[in-house]
DNA sequence: TGCTAATTGGTAGTGACTCTCAAAAGTGAG
DNA sequence: CTCACTTTTGAGAGTCACTACCAATTAGCA
């Protein structure tokens, strides 16, 4: 795989650079305040003040309060990787590899990892954020269903197709929350592997495998 | 003079009967108004007026606007049925039968069916309601995980267990939305059967089965 | 420098939801 | 039936996310 986007820092106009900085400032201030004093206890006005922008600007950058923490474009990224997998590959394998590639892409810098950690810790504790996460996952499922339909040449509104992807994403959701609940100390790649093992083997065996010790 | 044996209805106190009627009145008014003029276009005040109660009372009966449509206790019901299944039965089979039993229980009267239809039609079109549905499903997943853990004698926070149930519920969620999207015309029991077929066979085969004709 | 278009801040809403408190209605005993 | 008592209700004020709009500022470019 060729590396995708080289940093075109200088090519971005001053306007775009300022927008990016503002966006980052809002998110950073929000995550810090949420962590310090709680999500519900932090009104938008306070975030705006901390980020040195007006409340209107906060809403201009993020449609909802939850999106300040969660908005990202990994959905699209995963779909791109999925569509890039060879056509002969079984769907579950293609999905696994697409997820692998997406994770690798996201986890490129130490800074990015720490950022995700901070945000995920919030997701673990705030119900509203978990709900928003599900919403994103559901949207992701819809687009992946389309992709899979094209792959197999079937209608995207086929029940079997939707159930298949619903099951995979439902399993991945639990894996993600499990990872976060254990304070993100485990290797996410290993967890994804175990998740796909359950999907491939245990569901068919109709009995989840029992491990002796929980690593 | 002692009257004849009072009907079982009378066992409920006047207070409880009034509460039940108020609850029903609010829900009925809400569903009607939501259907007629849209969910977002219907403020709580209007529902209160239509149900002939104060806005405060609406919030006393339903914690959120979404819950007016969605609040029910089928979660607990399904868990009861699941726990009642014989211990030697494979988990997926036990789940399937528990869901069957729950559906049969809910679909007992024609009136109940029509009520569910009306509410589900709303769920299909209103994003906020779909989000709330997922929340309920997630909670259901958590309690079912506990039940399954007791069944198999493992820790309830085991990754494999959570992924297993997450996958099943993720698949069922899609089945439910598929059913609703097709205007609830299909037989729900048949859809559940097809869903479990995917979970048992197609996931392991790693390729969703392709049907020649879609229903 | 001056024109144009994008970005921002402020102001005034709407509506869900919370808290509090006093009025009203059901309950149970004498 | 009447008198406490408890529960339920309604009304008011308040918080906060989010929207719509308009005026002021600022970047992009000739």
Is the domain of B54 the same as that of B76? no
In chain B, alpha helices (H):
14-37, 44-51, 55-61, 65-70, 74-84, 91-106, 110-125, 127-152, 159-181, 188-197, 203-205
Test mutation, B174, B204, B205, chain A, max A CBs within 10 A: B174
Residue B213 lies in a domain: no
CATH number at A95 reads: 1.10.357.10
Is the domain of A194 the same as that of A88? yes
Residue-wise DSSP of B21-81: HHHHHHHHHHHHHHHHH-STT--HHHHHHHHTS-HHHHHHH-SSHHHHHH---HHHHHHHH
Closest CA to B132 of B54, B64, B49, B74: B64
Burial (CB count within 10 angstroms: exposed 0-12, middle 13-18, buried 19+), residue B92: buried
Structural domain containing residue A60: 11-68
User: Using CA atoms, how far apart are residues A79 and A77, in angstroms rounded to an integer?
Assistant: 5
Question: What does the pLDDT read at residue B145?
Answer: 96
Note whether A160 and A131 are within 8 A (CB): no
State both tokens at B55.
């806005």
Last residue of a domain, one of A36, A51, A68: A68
Residue A6 lies in a domain: no
- Asked if the model's pLDDT at residue A2 lies above 50, the reply is no
Nearest-Cα distance to chain A for B54, in Å, is 27
Within its chain, how far is the Cα of B89 from the centroid?
24
A210 interfaces chain B, CB cutoff of 8 Å: yes
Is the domain of A17 the same as that of A119? no
Mean pLDDT of A72-100: 92
Residue B95 lies in a domain: yes
Burial (CB count within 10 angstroms: exposed 0-12, middle 13-18, buried 19+), residue B128: middle
**Structural domain count, chain B:** 2
Q: Is B198 helix (H, G, I), strand (E, B) or coil?
A: helix
Nearest-Cα distance to chain A for B6, in Å, is 47
Q: Whose CA is nearest the C1' atom of nucleotide D26?
A: A15
Query: At a CB cut-off of 8 Å and minimum separation 6, what does A37 contact?
Result: none
pLDDT in tens, B31-85: 999 999 999 999 999 999 999 999 999 999 999 999 999 998 778 899 999 999 9
Is the domain of B43 the same as that of B146? no
Residue B7 lies in a domain: no
pLDDT in tens, B179-204: 998 988 889 999 999 999 999 987 76
User: Using CA atoms, how far apart are residues B152 and B155, in angstroms rounded to an integer?
Assistant: 9
Give the confidence band of B148 by pLDDT, cuts at 50, 70, 90.
very high
Is the domain of B103 the same as that of B18? no
State both tokens at A36.
């310090």
Residue A3 lies in a domain: no
Taking only residues 73 to 92 of chain A, the set having a beta carbon closer than 8 angstroms to any beta carbon of chain B reads: 90-92
Give the confidence band of A144 by pLDDT, cuts at 50, 70, 90.
very high
Residue B76 lies in a domain: yes
Nearest CA in chain A to B132: A131
Is the domain of B115 the same as that of B201? yes
Where is pLDDT greater, at A164 or B202? A164
Is the domain of B55 the same as that of B106? no
Burial (CB count within 10 angstroms: exposed 0-12, middle 13-18, buried 19+), residue A118: middle
Question: What does the pLDDT read at residue B214?
Answer: 38
How many residues are there in chain B?
215
Nucleotide nearest the Cα atom of A40 (by C1')? D16
Is the domain of B84 the same as that of B170? yes
Residue A62 lies in a domain: yes
Is the domain of A42 the same as that of A85? no
pLDDT in tens, A50-79: 999 999 999 999 999 999 999 987 788 999
CATH number at B57 reads: 1.10.10.60
Last residue of a domain, one of B21, B39, B65: B65
Last residue of a domain, one of A68, A87, A114: A68
Q: Is B3 helix (H, G, I), strand (E, B) or coil?
A: coil
Nearest-Cα distance to chain A for B211, in Å, is 8
Phi-psi region of B153 (alpha: psi -120 to 50; beta: other; left: phi over 0): left
Is the domain of B128 the same as that of B57? no
Is the domain of B26 the same as that of B122? no
Which chain A residues contact residue B198 at CB under 8 A?
160, 163-164, 167
Question: What does the pLDDT read at residue A91?
Answer: 93
Could you report how far apart the first and last alpha carbons of chain A are, in Å? 33
Nearest CA in chain A to B96: A206
State both tokens at A7.
């940093």
Where is pLDDT greater, at A9 or B127? B127
Nucleotide nearest the Cα atom of A54 (by C1')? C9
State both tokens at B57.
């009372």
Q: Note the CA–C1' distance, A54 to C9, in angstroms.
A: 6
Residue A2 lies in a domain: no
Question: What does the pLDDT read at residue B72?
Answer: 83
Is the domain of A59 the same as that of A140? no
Q: Note the CA–C1' distance, A59 to D17, in angstroms.
A: 10
Contact assignment for A167 to B163 by CB distance below 8 Å: no
- Asked if the model's pLDDT at residue A90 lies above 80, the reply is yes
In the predicted model, what is the mean pLDDT of chain B? 88
Taking only residues 156 to 185 of chain B, the set having a beta carbon closer than 8 angstroms to any beta carbon of chain A reads: 157-175, 177-178, 181
């Amino acid at each position: 795989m060729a590396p995708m986007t080289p940093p075109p820092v200088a090519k971005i106009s001053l306007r775009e650079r300022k927008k990016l900085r503002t966006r980052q400032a809002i998110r950073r201030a929000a995550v810090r305040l949420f962590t310090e004093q709680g999500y519900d206890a932090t009104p938008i006005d306070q975030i705006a003040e901390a980020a040195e922008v007006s409340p209107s600007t906060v809403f201009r950058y993020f449609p909802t309060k939850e999106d300040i923490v969660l908005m990202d474009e990994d959905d699209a990224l995963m779909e791109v990787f999925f569509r890039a997998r060879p056509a002969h590959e079984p769907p579950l394998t293609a999905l696994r590899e697409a997820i692998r590639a997406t994770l690798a892409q996201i986890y490129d810098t130490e800074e990015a990892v720490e950022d995700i950690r901070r945000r995920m810790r919030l997701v673990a504790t705030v119900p509203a954020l978990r709900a928003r996460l599900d919403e994103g996952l559901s949207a992701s499922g819809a687009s992946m269903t389309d992709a899979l339909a094209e792959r197999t040449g079937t209608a995207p509104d086929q029940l079997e197709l939707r159930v298949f992807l619903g099951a995979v994403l439902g399993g991945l959701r639990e894996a993600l929350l499990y990872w976060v609940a254990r304070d993100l100390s485990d290797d996410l790649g290993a967890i994804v592997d175990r998740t796909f093992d359950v999907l491939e083997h245990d569901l068919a065996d109709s009995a989840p495998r029992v491990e002796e010790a929980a690593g």
